Structures are given as C-alpha cells and as structure tokens.
Amino acid sequence: MKKPPKGIPAPPLASPSAGHVIDWRVPTVAVLAFALAFVYLFIQFRGFSISTAMDQAQISREIAKGNGYTTQYIRPLAIWQLEQAGKPIPSHHFPELLQNPLNPLVNALPLKLVESEWNLTPLDIVYIGDRVIAATAILFFLFSVIVWYFVGTILFDKKTAFIGCAGLLMTDMMWQFSLSGLPQMLMLFLFACTTWLTLRAMENRDLGTSPLWQIFAAALLFGLLTLAHWSALWIFLGWVIFASLQFPRKGLATLIALAGFLFVVGPWLARNHHISGNPIGLAGYEWITQPGTAETEYMRSLTGPPLFSAVATCKRLASALTYQAGHIFSLLGINVIALMFFTALLHRFKLSNAATFRPGVLLMWSGAVLGMGLCGVSESVSPNQLHVLFVPLFLFYGFAFLMVLWSRLDVHSHKMKSVFIAFILLLCALPLINTLMSAPERAIQWPPYVPPFIAVLGDWFEENEAICTDMPWAVSWYAQRQALLLPKTIKQFNRISDYRLLGKSLNGLYLTPLTGDSALFSEVYKGAYSDWISLIMRPPEVTRFSLPIFTPLPIDGECILFSDRDRWSRRN
C-alpha cells in the first residue's frame, strides 16, 4: 500500500455510516401511527354507534356464512318494491337492496376469521365483530397514508408529502371514521390509488407515452369507489371532466374511463334490476324527501315512497349545501392546514403537477359536495360525509401555500421554520389530543345500544322467527335474528304478520329509546310514530295488540319487549 505524499493528510478510514445521515422521521411517524391505532382500537373504542355501520356489518356476516348478499334487516319499503316488481318475497336470505356491496364484501373475510366468537356473551361489552371491522378500517387508513405520501411527492416534494401525511395521522376525525364501521377508510384508500394513477397518467402524457392504461385502471377503481358509496359517482363525474380536458385525443380517454367504470358498476346495476326491478334498488329515494327526513321514516312505508317533488328536492339540496358551507371546518376534521386549501386556490403554484392537478381536485370536490347535497350530510362523522376523502389533498396544497407565505416573511432560521411547522401540526392535533386526554363517559354506546342486552333476543327467539323493532340494524347484528323495521302503522304490521309476507308471523316487538325518548308531541302524537303511541307510552296498552305479553328490559326499563308468549321466564 502506497503512502500518501508528504504534506497531504491520509484519508479517514471508511465506515459503514460514512456519508449517511440517519433519518428518524419515517420510523418515528410509523411508531406514532401504530401507537395511535392501539389506543383508539383498544382504549377509545366503545363499539358501533351508527346504524349504517351495523347494517353493513350484518350483511358482511351473511356473506361470511355463505348466504350471499342478503340481509336480516328487512325494510317495509323493500317488501313493497319486490311486490311492485312482481318478485317473490323470500322467507330466508332476503336480498339487500340499499347498502352498497363493497364494504360488506371486504369485511366478510375478517369476520369469517372470528366465526367462533360471533355469539355475544353477557361479559362481551364490545362485540368482537365491531372490533375486527374497526381494525380492518384502521389498516386501510394506514395503507392509504402510504399511498398519499407518494401522491404528495408527485405533486410537491418529499417534505410536503411527509408533513401532509403527519397532519393526516394527527386528524382525530380520520380515526373516528376508522372506528365507525363506515366505508370511508376503504374509500380513502381507493381514492388515494385513483389519484396516484391520474398523476402517473399526466406524467406519462408529458413524457410522450400513452397514459390510457392508467386512465382505465383509475376508472376501475372509481367503479369500486362507487360500489362503496353511491355518492362517489359525483366524484367520478368531476374526474371524467378533468380527464377529458387533460387527455383529449378525440375523446378516447373519456370513452376508456366510462368503459372501465361501467365494467365494474354494470353487473351490480344488473343484479339490482333483476331482483327488484330498479337498477339502484332502494337507493335514491332520499333525493325526493323533505329536508330533515330520516331514512328510516320513508323506509317504514309498506305503500310506497314519497312522491317526487322538485320543490322538496331543491329545498333538501339548498339545506345540505348551506350546512356544508357553515360547517366546512368541522367536516374537514378541524384541520387548519386542510382549510388553507381554499386560500391556496388564489395562488399560482410554479410546480407543474400541483398547478395542473388543482382544477381536478376542485372538480372532484365540487362533485362530492353536490352528491352530499342530494343525499344529505348531518355530522362530521356520518355515512354520507365525503369531505374526509379530500383531507389529504387539501393538506398538501394547504401546507405548500403556508410555506410560500412563510418564505415571504424572510425568516432564514431553520429552527424558527421547524417551530412554525410544529405549531401548525399541533393546531391540527388539538381534537386528537382532547380525545386522548378525555376518558369515554361509558364503556358502551348507551343510549340506545347495549350489545349483550340486545343479544339476549337471540336466545329468546328462534332462527326461523322474526322480530319487529325500531332498531333492526342492531337486532340483526347483535342478536343475529331477522328484524323488521317498525312499519308506519299497526295495520301494516298486522298485514305483514297475518299474511306472513316474510313466510312467518312476527313473534316479537322490541321498542327502545329511539322511540321511547322521542319528543312527545312533535315525534309521537303528531309525528312519525303516532300510530304506535299506545305501545310507546308507559304502561303500554296491549288490549287490541296481537302481541299481548310484555316485559321491560335493561337499562332502567327504557327498552320493552312484546311477544306472543312469555319467552324470558322459560330459561332454567
């Protein structure tokens, strides 16, 4: 080995770490993500509280049983629809006509893995099915964060993508959706993939290569997105308009996108038409109802849906759009950075991808706003809330704009910049911190849900019997019994029971705080439950009712069960 010339120092010995700086950001965020997942799933989680989640969950279990896309939650309007189409009303394996199929199909596999634990015991405060579905949603959320990171690197850079994903993990609303049992986290993952494919198609176009396969793949995923929630159709239409402008080629891209979308959605439309005579089943009736009308109200009718009224539809749309405008901050998870997206619309970004894709984001979001306006949205965590899908994109644009504003302050200290970024992330995390610092008031979602007390109905009624109730989604999910939504009138109840429209008589009536805690005059005497007043009031009047035996049930007798005979005292 030659010695170095005199006067020239010898080079330092090479080491494995020479020239490499360890970046602790990624493992730190990964640890944070899994820690939050553990805390939310095993400490904060109290079971499902949204009817749509329980409804889709019980459909998942039917799929896992091998019964196909069927339901144990029976709506009187579904009976009417089958009668109008001249279709037979099955006594078993009633076809599901309202809920979208993708989320139940996805959750069927994890539910199958815990099949031995399907039956609730008195000690099961949180149902294993609830926790498994919530865990699946959390996994989709974490996978979506990874895909959104790559989206952020294409739009801006790695730093913006990292900060955006960190802000996403610190948004309490995202975790609440993960625990809700709703399909939004599955949709978030699919939407992330469609966004990444769209940006890759734009890059291929700029490089002179064909983007058609990415467009087709994105359209397929938009089809899946629509099978998770019908309102995603409006997002797809916004994307089609953007794609038509970005990839003209005599409309070829548009045709390919439409073909891919129909390839996925078409079979489901055909299935619904074959079963019920309507391609979208029971969906869409909410468009013609008055503002504030609950889904269960018109689904209780055995004589048909409300008549179409352009005035009612316009009122509903105006009411929902007004609500969204006034609550946009909460609908974006009280995330300060995401809210800055609307200010970023006034800035001209120099990065070509960010500037070119921004109109696409605006078009898709506008489509989502319209879809939510037609279907109605009531809370930040609710079945029709689709703003949640756009939070990652809003975070990227909002953070990039804040960094532009910071650069104009002419502050050159890197420490001050880091403090500023930490401060805005802290603002985004305030709802999350509040959730983690506040212990849940109860270990269950009471009122009105107490899973072990609902599950006991599965012991008192046989599998070939049916129960009528004001919360059929919970009875079908926790008690695993066929449950009919309380019809509008006792006369309709008697018709279903006496004529055995479901192939059997109705052997029980289970009323809960959903009706018992309703406003006496506005919701009972003069409202949707006026015909049931004699059974809702305490003590009930059962002289002329076909189910004369009744007993109050926990908690504090707020639930009451009517039956054809004493079923609760016969156990040894």
* pLDDT tens-digit readout, 88-135: 999 889 999 999 999 999 999 999 999 999 999 888 889 999 999 999
The residue among 307, 300, 309, 308 whose CA lies nearest residue 80 is 300
pLDDT tens column, 182-236? 999 999 999 999 999 999 999 999 998 999 999 999 999 999 999 999 999 999 9
Residue 19's pLDDT band, with cuts at 50, 70 and 90, is very low
> What does 91-106 look like in DSSP terms, one character per residue?
SSSEEP-SS-SHHHHH
pLDDT tens column, 31-83? 989 999 999 999 999 999 999 999 999 999 999 999 999 999 999 999 999 99
Top-confidence residue, 393 or 91: 393
* Six token digits for residue 154: 């294409």
What lies within 8 Å, CB to CB, of 332 at 6+ separation is 173, 338, 339, 387, 391, 394
CA distance 12 to 18: 10
Query: What does the pLDDT read at residue 295?
Result: 80
CA distance 342 to 426: 20
Query: What does the pLDDT read at residue 1?
Result: 45
CA distance 255 to 186: 27
First to last CA, the chain: 93
CA distance 369 to 325: 10
CA distance 49 to 459: 23
Residue 3's pLDDT band, with cuts at 50, 70 and 90, is low
Residue count of the chain? 572
β-pairing verdict for 482-485 and 466-469: parallel
Please give the radius of gyration of the chain, using alpha carbons only, rounded to the nearest integer: 27
pLDDT tens column, 462-501? 999 999 999 999 999 999 999 999 999 999 999 999 999 9
* Six token digits for residue 210: 């064909």
CB-side neighbour CA atoms (13 Å) of 514? 22
Residue 142's pLDDT band, with cuts at 50, 70 and 90, is very high
β-pairing verdict for 549-553 and 506-511: unpaired
Dmax over CA atoms of the chain, in Å, equals 114
Q: Contact at 8 Å (CB) between 196 and 149?
A: no
What lies within 8 Å, CB to CB, of 344 at 6+ separation is 358, 397, 398, 400, 401
The identity of residue 483, as a single letter, is A
β-pairing verdict for 559-563 and 506-511: antiparallel
> What does 511-540 look like in DSSP terms, one character per residue?
E-HHHHTS-IIIIIISSTTGGGHHHHSSS-
- Tokens 């602790």 found at: 24
Angle in degrees, CA 481, 484, 486, rounded to 5: 135
The identity of residue 267, as a single letter, is P
β-pairing verdict for 466-469 and 506-511: parallel
CA distance 199 to 379: 31
Q: Contact at 8 Å (CB) between 534 and 509?
A: no
Question: Across residues 351-366, what is the average pLDDT?
Answer: 95
* Six token digits for residue 91: 């006594």
Top-confidence residue, 406 or 122: 406
Burial grade of 270 (CB within 10 A; 0-12, 13-18, 19 or more): exposed
Does 567 have pLDDT greater than 60? yes
Residue 519's pLDDT band, with cuts at 50, 70 and 90, is low
The residue among 509, 510, 507 whose CA lies nearest residue 453 is 510
The residue among 395, 49, 390, 65 whose CA lies nearest residue 225 is 390
The domain spans of the chain are 132-283+327-437, 451-563
Alpha helices in 277-377 (DSSP H): 295-299, 310-326, 328-331, 336-339, 341-344, 352-375
Percent of the chain with pLDDT over 90: 76
CA distance 22 to 295: 54
Q: Contact at 8 Å (CB) between 533 and 524?
A: yes
pLDDT tens column, 291-347? 767 788 889 999 988 887 788 888 888 999 999 999 999 999 999 999 999 999 999
CA distance 495 to 489: 10
The residue among 442, 435, 424, 425 whose CA lies nearest residue 380 is 435
Alpha helices in 156-250 (DSSP H): 158-169, 172-180, 184-207, 212-228, 232-246
Angle in degrees, CA 517, 522, 527, rounded to 5: 95
* Six token digits for residue 315: 């009122």
Neighbours of 439 (CB within 10 A): 7
What's the pTM?
Answer: 0.93
The mean pLDDT value of the chain amounts to 91
The residue among 161, 158, 142 whose CA lies nearest residue 393 is 161
CA distance 332 to 173: 8
Can you name the residues that pair with 563 across neighbouring β-strands? 508, 549
Does 538 have pLDDT greater than 90? no
Burial grade of 118 (CB within 10 A; 0-12, 13-18, 19 or more): middle
CA distance 418 to 406: 11
pLDDT tens column, 417-428? 999 999 999 999
